[in-house]
Amino acid sequence: MKRTLLLLSTASAAGVAQVPADLGAQGAFAAKYCVECHGGDATKGKLDLVAAAPDAVARLMRWSRMRARLLAGEMPPADAERPAAAERAAFVQWVDQTLRTEVPKLPLAPGRTTVRRLTRSQWENCVRDLFGVRVSTAAFPADDLGYGFDTIGDALSFSTLHLEKYLAAAGAVAASVLDDEDPQHPTVRRFEAESMQVVDGPGANQDGDVAGLYTRATIERELQLPRDGVYRVRVLAGADQAGDEPAKMALHWDGRELDTFEVAERAPRQFELTAPLLAGPHRLGLEFTNDFYQPEHPDAARRDRNLRIDWCEVTGPLDARVVPAEQQWVAAALAKRGAEAGAVRGFARELLQRAWRRPVTDAEVARVAAIVDGARKAGETATAALRLAVQAALASPNFLFRLETGGVEGKAGDAAPVPGPVLASRLSFFLWGSMPDARLLDLAAKGKLAEGQTLQAEVQRLLVDGRAESLAVDFAAQWLELRNLGDRMPDPARFPGFDDTLRASLRRETELLFLAILRDGSDVRDLLDCDFTHVDATLARYYGLDRPAGAGGFVRVPLPPALRERGGVLGHGSVLAVTSNPTRTSPVKRGKWILENLLGQPPPPPPPGNDSLPDEKAIDSSKTFREQLAQHRQRAECAACHVRMDTLGFALERFDAIGRHRTNDAGGPIDCSGELPGGVRIDGIAELKAVLAADPAFLRVVAKKLFVYAIGRDLRPIDELRLDLAVDALRAKPKITLQDLVLVIVQSDPFLRREVERPR
């Protein structure tokens, strides 16, 4: 019987070694160094080099995996015979050449991605770009993560709570965009004082149709303001006079005193304040601040000072509403047609095409227009009815989900180009975390967006736009686990001062580094090591850096030689804090973080019963921890992973659990040295950076993280083979930029194409 994989044999006194024929001239290499643990009955790591590979993809992935382990020095293990440098180089060269030849011959297989709901940040960004309105989604349910990102279709859930929050938020957006403001007749919100809530002091009671404040007390009322603007606050109040000063009434806004009025007459009169106020929910408070009571005073009318408040009102906004540039299309759309019905349908079409990010049908327009018509017939004002159209558009699945509609030509299973509007959305959500703009949609409608030079030009345009900051605050923050900073609670007794302000500054420093590498066109490996960082006043003090005098917020500063180690993400307090325990550093966590996020080689879960050290509470220093880990590595099942992981982590031990530099701890001078598999020794962060920057795995892992974030699913073996090959092809360039890697993703088959659906 013919076998897919021909097994050759080499006789020896000890027995017969099976040689995989599909390794060609390198079969003897595998037989000598690999098959003993990865062949036949021995299949460690689920890698069987003797069994026939089921297809070309599996065969090529097998070789690629062997190459990666050889280059990392992990295989063969330290207690086995290891190949000479020339043997290893010959095998790696053979694999590289084979992959360059065979991978391009693999069939197109773009796959399909599960439909994706907008994430919270994407929802905010779309509303911002559609209407120029900023609405917080903090009350929305948290987005689910898959493969480290919140853009994964299979992970993102949808619930009735989501729908409830979307409807409420859509209503708030609609009210902001289509308001009933009349500059000549601003809205007046009046509250009777006797109905206001007493929140401080017992001495407030209803006294007829007024609120009587007989001791120091405060009454409050909640209200909602439609937008930021100028408002007038009026209060009608009088007072019983006593003592040597008039009664005083403090006006509070959200607990902050805006002004204090002297109420010097018993007869009520109006007191007024005009001030800029912010949109949203607020608390209006009125406080009687100077109670006076002297019952023995000879004049009975002067014995007791009391404050009586009749009503208060908030009028406004009084200033002209500034229409954001992003929102000016609304008035233009409503003015396109003279007749009301025509204007509504014209507005509905413009609204839906923008919000749903694609051309819309007459039937879809008619359904939304019918909502407006029905509301008008029910007695709603024109503005209120149009708000329902906006709310319906934003609560529709066509807005909330990235529905990649539109037919593609070909038979089931074929790889077909995605429609233009779909490509426009894929591009904008990848690079902006938001909806496509008019230019992208116009190019898509004309069928030009997928053209090579046009696509490259649009990628460049999108990356220089301010909205590309999404790559830092969404992609990089998730890739580098910066979002976990909010969950880190270092022991306040050991690490005082680690508060929310410092957390925000640490995270922003790393985001700004990513943005600088992107916008400067720097080499991607500068993320690991560079000669600058960004600091605000908080971080400048924290790191001991000079900051330009008079500079506000974050500024880019050069790193002096003494602080050069801070250059790159490994020297950032954000990463160092995220990879620590509450009471101490964790070389294991730091090493694991490097393997997962910078080298794409996550260690397997520890065997049962081996996930903790025997005497965890006894660890009080780096020296103690190193000794316990040395004992831990004596277990055969732990050594293979910990040899590399521990060495990587210990290189960062001169930074404490919140990222502050140190040279000693409770055990004395800190030892940062270690040896990686393959005999490479490193001592400290500088040598660690050099090792990581020289490792081809770093560039590949950045590309893979971008792929998962952009495509919305994990890589399949065929994706990994093609992506590695594309990244390796960039090595001929003097530098490899983030834009280069973005183009690799955008020009890939999974981004430009999708599999034609089979009939249901």
pLDDT tens, position by position, 137-176: 999 999 999 999 999 999 999 999 999 999 999 999 999 8
The predicted pLDDT at position 9 comes to 36
> Rounded distance, CA 558 to CA 68, Å?
36
Reported confidence tier of residue 8, pLDDT bands at 50, 70, 90:
very low
List, in order, residues 6 or more apart from 537 with CB less than 8 Å away.
547
Reported confidence tier of residue 322, pLDDT bands at 50, 70, 90:
confident
Q: Over 50: is that where the pLDDT of 13 sits? A: no
Alpha-carbon 390 to chain mean position = 27
Question: Distance from first CA to last CA of the chain, Å, rounded?
Answer: 40
DSSP 199-211: EE-S-EEEETTEE
The runs of H, that is alpha helices, within 586-621 are 587-597
> Rounded distance, CA 707 to CA 697, Å?
15
What are the boundaries of each domain within the chain? 7-105, 188-315, 473-694
> Rounded distance, CA 511 to CA 54, Å?
43
The predicted pLDDT at position 633 comes to 58
> Rounded distance, CA 482 to CA 569, Å?
11
| pLDDT tens digit sequence for 53-81 | 788 998 899 889 888 888 877 777 767 77
| pLDDT tens digit sequence for 419-466 | 999 999 999 999 999 999 999 999 999 999 999 999 999 999 999 999
Q: How many other CB atoms are found less than 10 A from the CB of residue 497?
A: 12
Mean pLDDT of the chain: 88
> Rounded distance, CA 140 to CA 148, Å?
20
Q: What is the dihedral sign for C-alpha 480, 482, 483, 489?
A: positive
Reported confidence tier of residue 118, pLDDT bands at 50, 70, 90:
very high
Helix, strand, coil percentages for the chain (3-state, nearest 5): 45, 20, 35
**How many secondary structure helices (H) and strands (E) does the chain include?**
26, 26
> Rounded distance, CA 724 to CA 701, Å?
9
What's the predicted TM-score (pTM) here? 0.86
3-state secondary structure (DSSP) of residue 315:
strand
> Rounded distance, CA 300 to CA 320, Å?
51
3-state secondary structure (DSSP) of residue 584:
coil
Taking CA atoms, 292 is separated from 94, 242, 286, 303, 444, in Å, by: 95, 7, 18, 8, 75
| pLDDT tens digit sequence for 499-530 | 999 999 999 999 999 999 999 999 999 999 99
One-letter amino acid for residue 129 of the chain = D
Residues 127 and 135 sit within 8 Å (Cβ to Cβ): yes
> Rounded distance, CA 96 to CA 512, Å?
36
Residue 613, exposed/middle/buried by CB under 10 A (0-12, 13-18, 19+)?
Answer: middle
Q: What angle do CA 97, 102, 106 make, to 5 degrees?
A: 155
Residues 318 and 274 sit within 8 Å (Cβ to Cβ): yes
53: left (phi over 0), alpha (psi -120 to 50) or beta: beta
428: enclosing H helix or E strand: helix 420-431
Give the residue among 221, 189, 192 at the shortest CA–CA distance from 311.
192
DSSP state of 1: -
Regarding predicted confidence, which is higher, 569 or 619?
Answer: 569
Residues 349 and 365 sit within 8 Å (Cβ to Cβ): yes
CATH homologous superfamily, domain 188-315: Galactose-binding domain-like (2.60.120.260)
3-state secondary structure (DSSP) of residue 486:
helix
Q: Over 60: is that where the pLDDT of 21 sits? A: no
Alpha-carbon 294 to chain mean position = 63
The predicted pLDDT at position 457 comes to 98
Taking CA atoms, 10 is separated from 4, 19, 27, 223, 252, in Å, by: 20, 8, 11, 87, 91
| pLDDT tens digit sequence for 394-426 | 999 999 999 998 766 777 778 889 999 999 999
Reported confidence tier of residue 267, pLDDT bands at 50, 70, 90:
very high
Reported confidence tier of residue 84, pLDDT bands at 50, 70, 90:
confident
| Overall average pLDDT of the 466-480 stretch | 97
E strand residue ranges, 279-423: 280-288, 292-293, 304-315, 401-402, 415-417
| HSE toward the beta carbon, residue 80, CA cutoff 13 A | 15
User: What is the chain's Cα-based Rg?
Assistant: 34
